[in-house]
């Protein structure tokens, strides 16, 4: 029996080098360019703007988000 494909990895592959919005479990949102990811859904974002309560609060040139903190990713 074949092992099922990992749908999250396949979908993230399509989003590489695209500006995305990552919704964190604590309510923050990170708007940035998705440049890398791994099988644990750890994400590497560039040119990131952090939003809390829909207001920009910080900017980062490079940011790593651990997969366990990611609630959703949108375009």
pTM above 0.95, yes or no: no
pLDDT at 21: 96
pLDDT at 11: 81
| 7-74 belongs to CATH 3.40.50.720 | no
Digit-by-digit pLDDT tens for the chain (75 residues) are: 445 445 555 588 898 999 999 999 999 999 999 999 999 999 999 999 999 988 889 999 999 999 999 999 999
pLDDT at 1: 44
Sequence-separated (6 or more) residues with CB below 8 Å from residue 70: 22, 23, 24, 25, 41, 43
Domain range list for the chain = 7-74
Cα dist from 48 to 3, 7, 10, 65, whole Å: 35, 25, 23, 11
Query: What is the radius of gyration, based on Cα positions, of the chain?
Result: 13
């Amino acid at each position: 029996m074949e092992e099922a494909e990992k749908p999250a990895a396949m979908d993230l592959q399509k989003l590489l080098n695209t500006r995305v919005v990552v919704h964190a479990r604590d309510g923050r949102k990170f708007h940035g360019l998705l440049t890398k990811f791994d099988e644990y859904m750890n994400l590497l974002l560039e040119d990131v703007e952090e939003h809390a309560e829909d207001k920009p609060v910080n900017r980062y040139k490079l940011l790593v988000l651990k997969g366990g903190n990611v609630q959703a990713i949108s375009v």
